[in-house]
């Protein structure tokens, strides 16, 4: 009877001996989950810090040179620019000396315009309001009293502006860098006018080391073969289904709208028949011309500059974008959802379908950010990854729930999670993909 009692006692107490071990394993799973979450959140903080630094760093889209520093320094072989105005005009003797070469046909247009300018006097300044005087200061620089514009760069004697139709044909674009918004372009440039054009001194506001070789240079027709590096704006809000605009801006260094007006020529604005860009498709091609007014370079500078802007719209191939961004993100979420069909008793397996996937999502998001410039806004890919984080968190909450509920309620919650979490996850992913 003693042995029987011992066996019965042991049989009765056996479950009591195992329960502390089960509780210990549950505590271990909690520790694993918490540690995994902390690691994932640390990686997530690194990602957010990378995005947040965009607010304190200048974006690639702001890489254009400052307006005041854009104009190159003059050289003896080029037309004089702004810096020669004070030295050419203050002395009367110099003005007299310039009258004779002003009649020379070989003299460039800028020098001719300065030679015909007059030094501003107190009488000229007295005609201004107090507000205008406060805005322009009291300097006495050369002005034109006749004609529409008073700027010393104006040339009333030119006889009215020449309207030049500008054509631009892109031959090749390569080395497009989405990080900096720079690209190299080879193109053909043509100018056709109904009257004599002034001497052309090309300036490319968003260009760097641009070289134009003339193939034809007459009074009414000019043709150039150009190549150089350019900087353009970058808009990544729709990334990876984004469309970028590659621009080439052209203006004259010296001639204002009183001498030269650009007009876009749609018949001569196109791409080479064999043009292509690796990884990008052509969305649109266009050009426009408009008047551009710089901030005053000197007192009473009212001369506009005619600017021509060519725009090439390019978009990413949708198939490549989907496989590089969307497919990996959805695979991470699907793997985590598989844990919903693992029985609650297999907590170790369920945990492996949660926290590790969260860490993988953070690393994948970080790799996407590294391939793009810093921005002050969320891209479409960022919104997708936020949806992935929410989906993974929902899945991990189901595992934690089984550690908190009573055993008799585990099966009921298990059935509820399998019914609720998949459609809820699908809704979250759809919102992240299309909103």
Please report the pLDDT score of residue 296 as a whole number.
Answer: 66
Q: Between the ranges 225-239, 328-342, 390-404, where is the mean pLDDT highest? A: 225-239
Read off φ and ψ for residue 316, nearest 5 degrees: -75, 150
For residue 96, name the pLDDT band (cuts at 50, 70, 90).
very low
Please report the pLDDT score of residue 215 as a whole number.
Answer: 94
Higher pLDDT, 299 or 98: 299
- Of 75-84, 173-182, 197-206, 422-431, the poorest mean pLDDT is in 75-84
Percent of the chain with pLDDT over 90: 41
Please report the pLDDT score of residue 293 as a whole number.
Answer: 85
Whole-angstrom distance, CA of residue 80 vs CA of residue 63: 27
Q: Between the ranges 138-142, 372-376, 379-383, 400-404, where is the mean pLDDT highest? A: 379-383
* pLDDT above 80 (res 92): no
For residue 322, name the pLDDT band (cuts at 50, 70, 90).
confident
Q: Mapping DSSP to helix (H, G, I), strand (E, B) and coil, where does residue 411 land?
A: helix
pLDDT tens-digit series, residues 337-384: 887 887 777 766 676 667 788 889 999 999 998 889 988 899 999 999
Whole-angstrom distance, CA of residue 329 vs CA of residue 368: 11
Q: Between the ranges 1-15, 73-87, 415-429, where is the mean pLDDT highest? A: 415-429
* pLDDT above 50 (res 332): yes
Whole-angstrom distance, CA of residue 249 vs CA of residue 227: 13
Element (H, E) at 165: strand 162-177
Whole-angstrom distance, CA of residue 70 vs CA of residue 252: 13
Same fold, 18-57+320-434 and 159-316: no
For residue 257, name the pLDDT band (cuts at 50, 70, 90).
very high
Interval 222-230 mean pLDDT: 97
Tell me if 228 sits within 8 A of 204, measured CB to CB.
yes
* pLDDT above 90 (res 399): no
Q: Between the ranges 26-40, 109-123, 392-406, where is the mean pLDDT highest? A: 392-406
- Of 113-122, 157-166, 283-292, 367-376, the poorest mean pLDDT is in 113-122
- 10 Å CB burial of residue 56 (0-12, 13-18, 19+) is exposed
* pLDDT above 60 (res 385): yes
Relative to beta strand 260-271, strand 207-217 is unpaired
For residue 70, name the pLDDT band (cuts at 50, 70, 90).
very low
Give the architecture-level CATH label for domain 159-316. Distorted Sandwich (2.70)
Please report the pLDDT score of residue 238 as a whole number.
Answer: 92
Residues ≥6 apart with Cβ < 8 Å to 173: 183, 184, 185, 186, 246, 275, 277, 312
Residues ≥6 apart with Cβ < 8 Å to 154: 113, 117, 144, 147, 148, 256, 258, 303
Please report the pLDDT score of residue 262 as a whole number.
Answer: 97
* pLDDT above 60 (res 176): yes
* pLDDT above 70 (res 430): yes
Please report the pLDDT score of residue 327 as a whole number.
Answer: 93
What's the CA angle centered on 61, arms 55 and 66, to 5 degrees?
A: 100
Instruction: Provide the strand spans (E) within 194-242.
Output: 202-203, 207-217, 221-231
Please report the pLDDT score of residue 406 as a whole number.
Answer: 77
Please report the pLDDT score of residue 260 as a whole number.
Answer: 95
Please report the pLDDT score of residue 66 as a whole number.
Answer: 34
The residue ranges of every structural domain in the chain are 18-57+320-434, 82-156, 159-316
pLDDT tens-digit series, residues 50-63: 554 444 443 333 33
* pLDDT above 90 (res 21): no
Read off φ and ψ for residue 388, nearest 5 degrees: -65, -45
Average pLDDT, the chain: 77
Percent of the chain with pLDDT over 70: 70
**Pseudo-torsion of CA 250, 256, 260, 264, nearest 10°?**
40
* pLDDT above 90 (res 7): no
Whole-angstrom distance, CA of residue 277 vs CA of residue 281: 7
* pLDDT above 80 (res 1): no
For residue 31, name the pLDDT band (cuts at 50, 70, 90).
low
* CATH number of 18-57+320-434, picked from 3.10.20.30, 1.10.3720.10, 1.10.1040.10, 1.20.58.390: 1.20.58.390
Please report the pLDDT score of residue 184 as a whole number.
Answer: 96
Higher pLDDT, 135 or 206: 206
């Amino acid at each position: 009877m003693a042995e029987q009692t011992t066996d019965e006692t042991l049989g009765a107490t056996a479950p009591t001996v195992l329960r502390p071990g089960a509780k210990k394993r549950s505590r271990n799973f909690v520790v694993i989950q918490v540690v995994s979450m902390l690691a994932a959140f640390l990686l997530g903080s690194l990602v957010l810090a990378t995005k947040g630094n965009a607010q304190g760093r200048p974006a690639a889209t702001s890489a254009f040179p400052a307006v005041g520093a854009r104009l190159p320094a003059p050289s003896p072989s080029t037309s004089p620019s702004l810096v020669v105005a004070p030295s050419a005009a203050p002395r009367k003797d110099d003005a007299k000396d310039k009258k004779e070469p002003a009649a020379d046909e070989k003299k460039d247009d800028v020098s001719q315009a300065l030679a015909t300018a007059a030094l501003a006097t107190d009488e000229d300044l007295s005609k201004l309001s107090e507000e205008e005087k406060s805005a322009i200061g009291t300097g006495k620089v050369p002005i034109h009293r006749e004609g529409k514009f008073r700027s010393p760069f104006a040339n009333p004697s030119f006889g009215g502006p020449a309207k030049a139709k500008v054509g631009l044909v892109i031959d090749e674009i390569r080395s497009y860098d989405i990080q900096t918004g720079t690209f190299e372009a080879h193109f053909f440039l043509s100018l056709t006018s109904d009257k004599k054009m002034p001497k052309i001194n090309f300036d490319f506001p968003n260009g760097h080391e641009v070289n134009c070789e003339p193939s034809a240079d007459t009074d009414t027709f000019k043709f150039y073969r150009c190549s150089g590096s350019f900087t353009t704006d970058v808009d990544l809000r729709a990334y990876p289904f984004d469309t970028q605009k590659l621009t080439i801006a052209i203006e004259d260094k010296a001639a204002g709208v009183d001498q030269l007006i650009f007009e876009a020529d749609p018949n001569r604005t196109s791409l080479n028949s064999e043009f292509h860009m690796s990884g990008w498709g052509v969305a649109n091609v266009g050009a426009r011309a408009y008047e551009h007014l710089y901030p005053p370079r000197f007192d009473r500078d009212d001369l506009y500059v005619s600017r021509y802007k060519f725009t090439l719209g390019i978009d990413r191939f949708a198939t490549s974008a989907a496989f590089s961004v969307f497919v990996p993100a959805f695979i991470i979420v699907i793997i985590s959802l598989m844990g919903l069909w693992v029985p609650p008793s297999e907590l170790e397996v369920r945990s492996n379908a949660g926290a590790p996937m969260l860490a993988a999502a953070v690393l994948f998001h970080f790799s996407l950010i590294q391939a793009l410039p810093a921005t002050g806004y969320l891209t479409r890919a960022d919104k997708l990854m936020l949806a992935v984080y929410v989906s993974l968190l929902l899945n991990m909450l189901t595992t934690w729930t089984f550690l908190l509920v009573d055993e008799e309620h585990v099966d009921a919650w298990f059935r509820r999670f399998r019914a609720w979490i998949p459609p809820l996850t699908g809704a979250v992913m759809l919102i992240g993909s299309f909103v």
